[in-house]
């Protein structure tokens, strides 16, 4: 896998009745794969201290309350054995140096990353899939329980029964398309930019403004570049100290 966003940026779907307002939303809170373990651990009501000193950060409250991410940096990878390669995320900044495939996978593949013609997307197929039916069944059951709770609070008129605003909402085709559009990365117009050649020198990108990594800002922001290189050096030193058993995974 390359360090570029097209390979490393992943999607996930999470649902819980504990989520704030229990509404559908697209989350752009920064998370790393190691964060899932402590997050699910807390969601299950387990004691986080039993996990010990781990790299993952508990993001459960962040997801539930839709607040700012507790994570601000992570290492994509560091490899110094057969070739030099390092990639780091630091707030909205991204540092890349070297390559995982000797430059073979560093070219621009387009916004979608696909070579084929546009693939059609059917929200109806999503709703009628096994997963879609399972979600619909569960939410419908919740709505029935909500209605029963309303009825138990007192006599409801026919008009009141018609205007109940359920906390649990079913997804429709319009909602799916709207969420999909919001979650889709738009590179915008590819204006004149500074190219990146990570085989020759480090590259620096501002992912919030440039999610498709088209404008190398390494020379424009040397202070940011220096900060990120310092972090990479720190993590490289830690990696050496925590190196696996001799001979494992090509270590010496």
Interatomic CA distance for residues 205 and 215, integer angstroms: 6
- 93 and 192 share a domain? yes
Q: Determine the Cα–Cα distance for residues 208 and 223; give it in Å rounded to an integer.
A: 19
Is the domain of 33 the same as that of 73? yes
In this structure, are 128 and 113 located in the same domain? no
Question: Model pTM?
Answer: 0.79
Supply the DSSP string of 106-142, one letter for each residue: -S---SS---SSPPP--HHHHHTSHHHHHHHHHHHHH
DSSP secondary structure, 32-96, as one string? -GGGHHHHHHHHTT--GGGG-S-S----HHHHHHT---S--EEEEEEE-SSS-EEEEEETTEEEE
Percent of the chain at pLDDT exceeding 90: 43
195 lies in the same domain as 168: no
Residue 5 CA to residue 158 CA, distance in Å, equals 53
201 and 154 within one domain: no
Domain count, the chain: 2
Is the predicted pLDDT of residue 245 greater than 50, yes or no? Answer: no
Residue 163: per-residue pLDDT:
59
Q: Are residues 204 and 175 in the same domain?
A: no
Contact criterion met (CB below 8 Å) for 98 and 84 = yes
Q: Are residues 73 and 104 in the same domain?
A: yes
Lowest-confidence region among 145-154, 187-196, 224-233:
187-196
Domain boundary among 165, 181, 197: 181
Domain match, 220 and 165 both: no
What pLDDT, in 10s, does the model give residues 79-116?
Answer: 766 567 899 999 999 999 987 777 777 766 666 655 55
Q: What is the rounded average pLDDT for all residues in the chain?
A: 82
pLDDT at 6: 76
Percent of the chain's residues with pLDDT above 70: 79
The predicted structure's pLDDT at residue 10: 85
- Are 198 and 80 within one domain? yes
Given a cut of 90, whether residue 196 has pLDDT beyond it is: no
Instruction: State which residues form the domain around 192.
Output: 5-118+188-250
At 123-159, the pLDDT tens digits run 999 999 998 898 888 888 888 887 788 777 765 555 5
Shared-domain flag, residues 53 and 86 = yes
Mean pLDDT of 218-224: 97
Q: What is the CATH number of the domain that holds 70?
A: 3.30.1120.10
Domain co-membership, 75 together with 9? yes
219 with 197, same domain: the answer is yes
């Amino acid at each position: 896998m390359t360090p570029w966003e097209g390979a490393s940026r992943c999607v996930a779907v999470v649902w819980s009745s504990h989520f704030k307002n229990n509404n559908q939303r697209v989350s752009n809170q920064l998370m790393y794969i190691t964060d899932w373990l402590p997050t699910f651990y807390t969601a299950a009501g387990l004691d986080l201290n039993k996990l010990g000193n781990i790299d993952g950060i508990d993001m459960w409250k962040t997801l539930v309350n839709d607040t700012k991410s507790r994570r601000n940096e992570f290492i994509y990878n560091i490899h110094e054995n057969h070739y030099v390669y390092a990639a780091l995320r630091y707030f909205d900044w991204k540092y890349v140096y070297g390559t995982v495939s000797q430059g073979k996978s560093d070219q621009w593949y387009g916004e979608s990353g696909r070579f084929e013609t546009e693939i059609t997307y059917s929200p109806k197929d999503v709703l009628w899939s096994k997963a879609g039916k399972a979600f619909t069944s569960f939410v419908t059951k919740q709505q029935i329980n909500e209605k029963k709770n309303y009825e138990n609070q007192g006599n409801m008129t026919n008009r009141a029964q018609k205007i109940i605003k359920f906390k649990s909402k079913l997804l429709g085709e319009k909602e799916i398309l709207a969420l999909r559009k919001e979650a889709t990365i738009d590179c915008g117009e590819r204006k004149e930019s500074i190219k990146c050649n990570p085989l020759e020198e480090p590259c620096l990108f501002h992912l919030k403004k440039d999610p498709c990594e088209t404008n190398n800002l390494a020379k424009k922001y040397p202070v940011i570049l220096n900060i990120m290189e310092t972090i990479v050096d720190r993590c490289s030193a830690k990696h050496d100290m925590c190196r696996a058993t001799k001979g494992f995974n090509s270590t010496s």
